Every structure is written in structure tokens, then in C-alpha cells.
Amino acid sequence: MTTIDWDSAADSFDEEPDHGLLDPVVRHAWAQRLESWLPRERSEILDLGCGTGSLALLVAGQGHRVTGVDRSSRMVEQARAKLAGTGTEVLVGDADRPPVGKQRFDVILARHVVWLLPDPAAALRHWFGLLRPGGRLVLIEGVWNGVGLSARQLTALLAPFTERIHHERLSGDRALWGKDVDDERYALVARAEPPRRHTEVVDVHLILRRGSDVLLARRTGTGYADGLLHAPSGHVEDGEDVREGMIREAAEEIGIALEPEELRVALVMQHRGPGGSPRTGWFFETEYDPARPPYNREPDKCSELEWFPLDALPDDMVAYCRAGLDGYLAGERFLIHWHEDGDTVAYEPQGPRRAVPLPTGGVRTGQVHHIELWVPDLAAAEAAWGWLLGELGHVPYQRWVHGRSWRRGDSYVVIEQSPDLVPGPHERCRPGLNHLAFHLTDRAALDALVARAPDHGWRLLFADRHPHAGGDEHVAAYLEDAAGYEVELVAG
């Protein structure tokens, strides 16, 4: 460490070019700032526009090897005298093209220099070329009496060369200036790391269905959207695919162990929060299993778990999650959800709808659009069909005076008590519709549904041959509602 005789050095200080560093309080304040900006280990420092060497003297006093450059030969002479014995080399030259040849530096320091350069962008590009990998620029600038370079402007000039820019406000530190200042004065510390390609955080969200209900968690103690409801969710970690991330988060947050085949992709959404960066969220759906009830495994982050009807979601939700569930209800598959800076993260019932659906490709001609059943009693049909379709993963879709509908993917089922309905019961054995058939995952799911069906207006047909009424190799249940409509549930 070089020892500096400050009393002797102060005798040669010229007040104007030394920017007040004659004052020991000011000098000490700058020494502390420099120590926080510069590497702790001995480093090669290039001080551009060094003037009479006041900052270079502080830097050398902290054990660094300094090279100073200034275009004024008079100031260079003063700097050489001031820095004699510190091992500092002081050169005459322009700051934008310093005469250092192929020498490379750990730090380039410039105070009140960039704003004077004829082509600051070109100078910064050249300076980054003089830095060793991982090196840094320490740029001290400001705006005085309407002239200078603002932090916003300088950050924009640095952006093509690095993403790691630390901004430090200097205006509020009276000790740095020997007086109170109210203009913009700052330092930017920019690392010599090229801009990375755009990356996004990947979120995973679980739509855990219990019939027509969905499980939501109330956030607490996280510092983000606390007090609002959100689906169980989290971020994909390094090395995980999205299914693995969802399975891990479900285990960590609500204590259920999911298998990959239980998860179905419900929705993919690109989202930007207020003032944040874009991220991409994958929404997965799965059915509730009574043998694996969810519970709150993170009480420090979640104050409660609660089931809510999908078609009557609460308002006190995170806007991002609410948009995803609304899109899911509407049968959308891809959404963009973009907040404006200054928006709230909370859902606003009367606020703008920021979700933009994206159309999917592929040929849809020939796919089933919807199936419509005319029923004699809408209320009874809604109770029976609403329960069954909810258990099968359909979500409430449309509601009007004479009808209801439930959607699954691009197709939906309608029940309607039309004013044009012709009197008489439904008879499936007559020409026309005989029955609807739906998939179920396995025999266990089939048995569980059949056991609960009578409580919701359905009776089991062909009970003497169940579950093989359709043949020895065919595992299925045949249910009938009070109006005579038949549904076949096929397992596996």
C-alpha cells in the first residue's frame, strides 16, 4: 500500500481542477466512494481526463497501479509532480483515444469527461475494448445548470455494451461537494460483460379441479401480492422441464404428489407485470383426488387454501392468475397479458382487460364444435349435467335464460329448455340421439364417479353387467338422468 503525505500533496492542489479535494472532508468522502467502486485486490486503473491527478492520487493511495491521461500538458506536469513516488504514469492524450497501445486495464475511471466528448458512443465502445474480461467503467457525471449528461442518457449509451450497470446517486451526499447540491450528480459502474440474449422466467401454475371448483391460495409474507389469491404456482428451476417444475411446486406448496401423466396443459401465457420483465407461464390442470387432499405446506407464504367456483371467481386475486383462469374458462390456449407501468398487480373488476387471445394454427374443419341437448327441466338438468361435466373436466362456459353450457377444449355441451321444445319425454331408443360418451382415466376414477352419481340425479343402467355392459373387453359405466338421457363413461 502506497503511503500518501496529504499535507505535502495539498500544497500543490489547484482548487479549480481538483474539484474541492483540498478539503479533507471532501477528500475522505471521495476516497470512500472510490473504495466501494474499485476492486479490492490491486488492479490496473486508467484515469481518463485525470486533470492534476487528484482522483489518481486517491486511487494510488488505495494500492492500485494508475495510468493517467489528460490532453492538457500543463495539468499532466502538475499530476506527475503530485503523483511522484506512487508508481503512477501520466500521459498526454485525448480521453476518447488514450495513448495506451495494447495495454488492458481492470478499471477505467472518468470524472466529468463523457459529456464533453464529441462522440460519446464511439468513445465508450473503445473504452470497453481496453478493459480486461470482467473489468468495469466507473463514470462520474451529472447535469449542472442545464448542461451535462443525465443518468438516463448515459445508461442508454452503455446499453449496447453491457447489461450490468449500477447507478449511484451522488447529489444527496454533502460531503462529496463541500456543500448542498440539488442538481443531478451520479456515478455509473458498468461491467465489461456483453448483453445477454433475452431470457424469460418460466412460471408453472396448477389448476386443481374439484368438479367445477378450483383451489386457490392466499399469499402472505412474500413481499409480492400479499393478501391476494393465486393458484399454486412457482418458477421452473435450472435443469427442469415444465412438468417437473409443476410436480415439484405442487409437492412443496400443497403436499400432493402428482405423476406426469396426470397433468394436462390448459393454457400458455406470456405476461409482463407492472414495471417488470416478461415471463412465460404454463397453466396445468388436474383433478382432485380425495385420497390425496391438498394442505398448506408453506404457512409462511400462504395464509389459507380455499376452493372457489370457476364460474364465480373472487375479485381479490392476482390479475395475472385471474386472466389465466378466465382464459381457461373461455377455452383459450394461448394468451398475452401485458401490464402498463404503474398498474396494480391485483385484479380490477372494472379495469381494462389486458389478456389478448392468440389464435391457434391447424385445420379445425370437421371437429365437433358443440353438442346441444334440449331438456324438459333446465334446473334439474343443470344440477345433474353440471355436476357430471364438472367431474369430467368441463368448465362452465355460457349462461342465458333458457340454457347453460360447459366447455372442454374447443368443444362444448349445451343443455337448453327452449321455448320451441315439443312436449314429450326423451326416448333414446327412438331415431335420434342415443347417448353421449366420455373418456375417464382409469377404473378407479370410474368407480368413484359411479358411487357419487346417484346423489346428483344419475342412476346406473345395466347394473347386472356393470362394468362390462359394452362387452368383456370394454370397461365402462352407463348412466341415465331423470329426463332419460344416457351417458357412457369409458375407462382407460
CA distance 202 to 398: 32
CB 394 within 8 A of CB 413: yes
pTM: 0.53
Close Cβ partners of 153 (under 8 Å, ≥ 6 residues apart)? none
For the structural domain made of 6-191, what CATH number should be given?
3.40.50.150
Region for residue 78 given its phi and psi (left: phi exceeds 0; alpha: psi -120 to 50; beta: otherwise): alpha
List, for residues 83-138, the tens digit of each pLDDT value.
Answer: 999 999 999 999 999 999 999 999 999 999 999 999 999 999 999 999 998 899 99
- Label residue 14 exposed, middle or buried (CB < 10 Å: 0-12, 13-18, 19+): middle
Neighbours of 235 (CB within 10 A): 13
Task: For the sheet with 458-460, list strands across it.
Answer: 435-440, 486-491, 476-481, 458-460
pLDDT at position 330 is: 84
CA distance 16 to 103: 31
- Label residue 213 exposed, middle or buried (CB < 10 Å: 0-12, 13-18, 19+): middle
- Supply the DSSP symbol for 317: B
List, for residues 237-246, the tens digit of each pLDDT value.
Answer: 999 999 999 9
CB 354 within 8 A of CB 412: no
List, for residues 197-207, the tens digit of each pLDDT value.
Answer: 778 999 999 99
CA distance 176 to 138: 16
Neighbours of 485 (CB within 10 A): 21
For the structural domain made of 201-357, what CATH number should be given?
3.90.79.10
pLDDT at position 410 is: 77
Domain coordinates of the chain in residue numbers? 6-191, 201-357, 370-491
Topology of the domain comprising 370-491: 2,3-Dihydroxybiphenyl 1,2-Dioxygenase; domain 1 (3.10.180)
pLDDT at position 7 is: 39
Over pLDDT 70: what percentage of the chain?
Answer: 95
CB 209 within 8 A of CB 393: yes
Cell of 466: 356393470
* In the predicted structure, residue 4 carries a pLDDT above the cut 50: no
CA distance 368 to 414: 13
List, for residues 10-27, the tens digit of each pLDDT value.
Answer: 333 333 345 557 888 999
* In the predicted structure, residue 5 carries a pLDDT above the cut 50: no
CB 157 within 8 A of CB 128: no
CA distance 83 to 19: 17
List 404's β-bridge partners, or say none: 399, 415
List, for residues 279-322, the tens digit of each pLDDT value.
Answer: 999 999 999 999 999 999 999 999 999 999 998 999 999 999 99
